[in-house]
Structure 1
Amino acid sequence: MESLKFNELAEKLIQYAIRAPSGHNSQPWKFQISENEIIIVPDLTKHLDVVDTSDKELYISIGCALKNLQVAASHFGYDSDYVYKDKKIFITLNKKEDNVTADDDTLFNAINKRHTHRGKFSGEKIPEEQLQRVENKKNSSMSDNAFKDELVEWMRFNKNHIQETQNGLCYNVLGFPPTPQFLGKKIIKMFLNPSGQNKTDDAVNASTSHFCLFTVKEPTIENYIELGTLLEEYLLKVTSSGLAYSFSNQPCEVLKIYETLKAELKVNDYPGVIIRLGYGKEPSNFSPREKPDIQIL
């Protein structure tokens, strides 16, 4: 494979990789392209000090980006393998001898449609095999000023703010009207409180059809990356099936509640991600992504 052609392919695949979900839409990844490998480099400048102190969610997000890249590679006729070493993910591609399967196309077509649902679900139960239910534990994160400060720092309050950053939690995706940045921060902090958040969570949970819990055997970087690949594949299947999902991760982010959740589940596995499933409306807006040329080193 000629170097230039490989570079073109790699850049195309990276465009799909960066469509992966991440905490606060922080997009904690960078990419390198060598002669025959694509390398994913964790961007630790996107570390979330409060809600992801161990970088668990950061590496899960990188696993999601990896899965998107693999799905896209398969769609364009390539098998892929990866290895994690030297704190990076090295991905090799090989031309496939057989044809792309319908399942590959189904997952590939879902990459640009996948989104995190905002707000309540329809309340209708999903007519499929019962998924494991978990109780969404109440938590005190909205009482934590550090939690609120970090959340607000990743919010984008108007079009100019979005264009400047191309990341974060955007006002139009969340269903808010645009405001000047200084005013938006004050308003959001006024409404971020335990009582208001619990009411919102209760309404969303009541409309949820199922909860799904993803766990790992051991809390290692390699396991979190693998969990991310499995999670993203699942989310793409959810999307292609016409279902909606949202994250309910605070029980996995707040240490005391995390330990309680682990104990009450009576399993040795470590909780990684909790998602809600249901039916929801198509979004009017999608979260922005930083341009690939910014993310390629």
Structure 2
Amino acid sequence: MNRRSFLAGGAGLAIAGVGAAFFVLRGMGSMEEYNASIAATRAALRQAPETNDLIRYATLAANSHNTQPWRFRISAGNIEILPDMARQIGIVDPDNHHLFASLGCAAENLAIACGARGRPGALRFNPAENGSIIFATGGEVPAEPMLFNAIPQRQSTRGDFDGKPVSTADLRSLVTAAAMPGVDLVLLTDRPQIERVRDLVLAGNSAQLADPAFLHELKAWLRFNPRQAMRAGDGLLSASSGNPSLPSWLGPMMFDLAFKAEAENEKYARQFASTAGVAVFVAHKDDRAHWVLAGRACQRFALQATALGLKHAFINQPVEVASLRPELATLVGLPGRRPDIVMRFGYGPSLPYSARRPVEAVLA
């Protein structure tokens, strides 16, 4: 969203009077209160957690629009991750591709957390009904403490990076960490290739922002101030994208006024100029089981990036706009395949973390 437009809205509130502004700001909550709540939730992960605490690690995974489209069913020795179809985002994700990739991200977090806490096991896709992922304990799987420690720190940072390149050794470690049978990872660090991805992102962004249904769906998942985000426990907090907080009644109106393709494309172009590289994940097959695998690989990449001090952000417009997929697939040398996930990465500052619902709310 355009910062100047939002700040203009804030100035209008100030004109309304100091007393009114006090009550508005109090109703919005403070970032200090919000950050303390998020930090307490993540710090509450126990040194020897029970199953619910392991599920908490799983829920810190990346997921589209922060919809958290998962439910967890616990049985003897197993934890099953089920799709929560009530949290579909049907305009941007009509075939539930992102939903199942998000389940893969959560499953990988769960497996890493269980392995680190002495409860190793294996993940498998269950195609029954809508499809689910089953984690079954047993076997000897090496613990991955570096990835485990990165779980509470990982975040999708939708801001500018500093433009510094990533070393060859760190790029190799990202590829190694993200290695997943059934998924190809293509890293782009050459500036002309990054700019070609940028052009696809801008084209996809323009197409999406010209669609009123897309804008309506996106707005439904925006949280315009800390209080709203804490109450919902989900969605995209405006401050996490570097935008100021606004009252819940004003935020949607300012969104309609300020969220325009030209301003958003200028922001994306600036962010690409500061990006060290782009990661594109392409599964071998276009089905739910492989969308899950792509999510698992993506999550491992994000955790390794976090451990290396890198930030990452999703730029999935060329995946979400179907007409752009063939050009992206050709760009990464995999013509005829469906790209699954696109991320940019680099060094940059932290932003506020997204909220998460309590574990009790995601148990089946």
TM-score, normalised relative to structure 1: 0.91
In structure 2, the partner of 1:270 is: 338
Which residue of the other structure, out of 85, 109, 116, is the alignment partner of 1:68? Answer: 109
CA distance in 2, matches of 1:289, 1:156: 13
- Determine the C-alpha separation between the residues in 1 that align with 2:164 and 2:239: 26
Name the residue aligned to 1:234. 301
- Residue in 2 aligned with 1:89? 133
> 1:127 is matched by which residue type in structure 2?
S
Is the counterpart of residue 59 in structure 1 residue 100 in structure 2?
Answer: yes
1:223 aligns with 2:304: no
Superposed, 1:92-131 pairs within 5 Å as 92-94=136-138, 96=140, 101=143, 104-128=144-168, 131=187
Is 2:164–2:346's contact at 8 Å kept on the other side of the alignment?
A: yes
Contact 1:78–1:95 under 8 Å retained in 2: no
Q: Decide whether the 8 Å contact of 2:112 with 2:147 is kept in 1.
A: yes
Map of 1:4 onto structure 2? none
Give the Cα separation in 1 of the matches to 2:103 and 2:300.
13
Q: Does 1:143 align with 2:210?
A: yes
RMSD of aligned residue pairs (Cα, Å):
1.8
Q: Which has the higher helix share?
A: 2
* Counterpart-to-counterpart distance in 2, 1:192 and 1:209: 27
Confirm or deny that 1:47 pairs with 2:69: no
Name structure 1 gaps, 5 residues minimum.
Answer: 1-7
Contact 1:142 1:197 in 2 (8 A): no
Any conservation in 2 of the 1:29–1:43 contact (CA below 8 Å)? yes
Name which of 259, 263, 279 aligns with 1:212: 279
Whether 1:281 and 2:321 are equivalent positions in the alignment is no
Q: CA deviation at 1:273?
A: 0.6
Distance 1:157 1:46 in 2: 20
- Name 2:234's counterpart in structure 1: 167
SS of the counterpart of 1:181?
coil
Looking at structure 2, the residues matched to 40 and 19 of structure 1 have their Cα atoms a distance apart, in angstroms, of: 14
Shift of 1:77: 1.1
Aligned equivalents of 2:260, 2:103: Cα separation in 1: 31
Q: Return the alpha-carbon distance in structure 2 between the equivalents of residues 50 and 259 of structure 1.
A: 20
CA distance in 2 between counterparts of 1:44 and 1:201 reads 31
Q: Which residue of 2 aligns with 1:25?
A: 66
SS in 2 for 1:81: strand
More displaced 10-residue stretch of structure 1: 64-73 or 159-168: 159-168
Shift of 1:124: 1.4
The two structures have a TM-score, normalised by structure 2, of: 0.75
Q: Does 1:255 align with 2:322?
A: yes
Contact persistence 1:122–1:279 (CA under 8 A): yes
Runs of 4+ in 1 over 4 A off after TM superposition: 263-266
Q: Deviations over 1:111-163 (max 9, x none)?
A: 00000112111011222267334523022211111111111110011233112
For residues 264 and 241 of structure 2, the distance between their equivalents in structure 1, rounded to whole angstroms, comes to: 14
Residue 95 of structure 1: how far off its partner (Å): 6.8
SS state of the match for residue 250, structure 2? Answer: helix
Cα distance in 2 for partners of 1:91, 1:170 equals 31
Q: Residue 218 of structure 1 aligns to a residue in which SS?
A: coil
- What is the CA–CA distance in structure 1 between the aligned matches of 2:331 and 2:238, rounded to whole Å? 36
Structure with larger Rg: 2
String of CA shifts for 1:230-249, please: whole Å, max 9, x gaps.
11111100000011111110
Provide the C-alpha distance between the structure 1 equivalents of 2:323 and 2:122, rounded to a whole number of angstroms: 37
Partner deviation per Cα, 1:8-40 (whole Å, 9 max, x = no partner): 732121010000011110000000111221111
Query: Distance between the aligned counterparts of 2:332 and 2:139, measured in 1?
Result: 44
Residue-by-residue CA offset, 1:229-281 (whole Å, 9 max, x unaligned): 11111110000001111111000001111233234545233201111011101
Q: Secondary structure at the match of 2:340?
A: strand
Which residue number corresponds to residue 5 of structure 1? none
Does structure 1 retain, via aligned residues, the 8 Å contact 2:73–2:81?
A: yes
Matched-pair identity in %: 28
Q: Please state how far the C-alpha of 1:50 moved relative to its aligned partner.
A: 1.3
Which residue number corresponds to residue 39 of structure 2? Answer: none
Partner Cα separation in structure 2 for residue 265 and residue 95 of structure 1: 37
Structure 2: runs of 5+ lacking an equivalent: 1-48, 172-186
Determine the C-alpha separation between the residues in 1 that align with 2:152 and 2:331: 37
Q: Residue 180 of structure 1: CA displacement?
A: 1.8
